[in-house]
Homo-oligomer: A and B are copies of this chain.
Amino acid sequence: MRTVDFYFDYSSTNSYFAAFMLPQICARHGARVRWLPLHLAALFRGTGFDVMAMTPHKARYLWRDHARYAEFTGLPFRKPSRFPIKTALALRATLAIPRLFEPGARLNDDSLARCEEEIGRFAQALFRAYWERDEDIARPETIARVAREEGFDGKRLAELADSAAAREALASVTQVAIERGVFGAPTFFVGYEMFWGKDRLDFVERLLKAR
């Protein structure tokens, strides 16, 4: 089955929109989303990029742009009161989702597909908590509750998210992203082709259609 690699961070408004637009596109073309939580703050630290450095005119426009995408997609987007927000724990929790089930079991294609679906469901729930209900997803209690509401073992997930293994996993996903040329989020890969930004999802869809 074809996959689209989806690098995202919960701190990225454009990742929020992509987290709901991409699965619809993939469903239309028989492709699967591979959810890849990316530590954007670490990536930006490495490149010296300051995401908050912009003119007041541009900052104001970007929120207007988000409101337009909300109208276009029908998503109940709301500007959060905490912005930017620390997302490392939420990202690590996302990477730890597969460890909640089938411990030690050998992964086959079916269980991989199920893993991706579970990660996606949890990621969408966290995106909604922050970008629709203004919840503080930097707090372990919030993460555990969101997980519980989605039917996961929230307490266990919060523990796993705080482990050395989860820290290594997030650093590793971020490092691989950098090596693949990622410089921001959301970023999508269809094969070797990289696309940056929710406004390139039409190109992602055309490529899926053509293949």
Contact A58 B199 (CB under 8 A): no
Contact B61 A183 (CB under 8 A): yes
A200 / chain B contacts, CB cutoff of 8 Å: 65, 199
Chain A 33-65 interface mask (CB, 8 Å, partner B; 1/0): 000000000000001010000010110110011
Q: Kindly state whether residue A184 has any CB partner on chain B within 8 Å.
A: yes
Given contacts A194-B61, A203-B68, contact A183 B55 (CB under 8 A): yes
Distance in Å: Cβ of A156 to nearest Cβ of chain B: 37
Contact B58 A184 (CB under 8 A): yes
Q: Kindly state whether residue A196 has any CB partner on chain B within 8 Å.
A: yes
Contact B47 A196 (CB under 8 A): no
> In the docked arrangement, what's the CA distance between A18 and B183, Å?
25
A57-B183, A72-B206, A197-B199 provided; 13 other pairs, C-beta below 8 A? A47-B55, A47-B57, A49-B55, A57-B178, A57-B181, A57-B182, A58-B183, A61-B183, A61-B194, A65-B196, A65-B200, A72-B203, A199-B200
How many copies of this chain does the complex contain?
2
A64 / chain B contacts, CB cutoff of 8 Å: 194
Interface SS majority for chain A: helix
Distance in Å: Cβ of A204 to nearest Cβ of chain B: 11
Give the number of residues in A that approach B within 8 Å (Cβ atoms).
23
A183 / chain B contacts, CB cutoff of 8 Å: 55, 57-58, 61
Chain B residue, CB-CB nearest to A60: B181
A203 / chain B contacts, CB cutoff of 8 Å: 68, 72
Chain B residue, CB-CB nearest to A178: B57
Distance in Å: Cβ of A168 to nearest Cβ of chain B: 23
Across the interface, A61 reaches (CB within 8 A) one of B65, B178, B196, namely B196
> In the docked arrangement, what's the CA distance between A47 and B61, Å?
15
> In the docked arrangement, what's the CA distance between A150 and B181, Å?
43
A49 / chain B contacts, CB cutoff of 8 Å: 55
A68 / chain B contacts, CB cutoff of 8 Å: 203
Chain A 126-148 interface mask (CB, 8 Å, partner B; 1/0): 00000000000000000000000
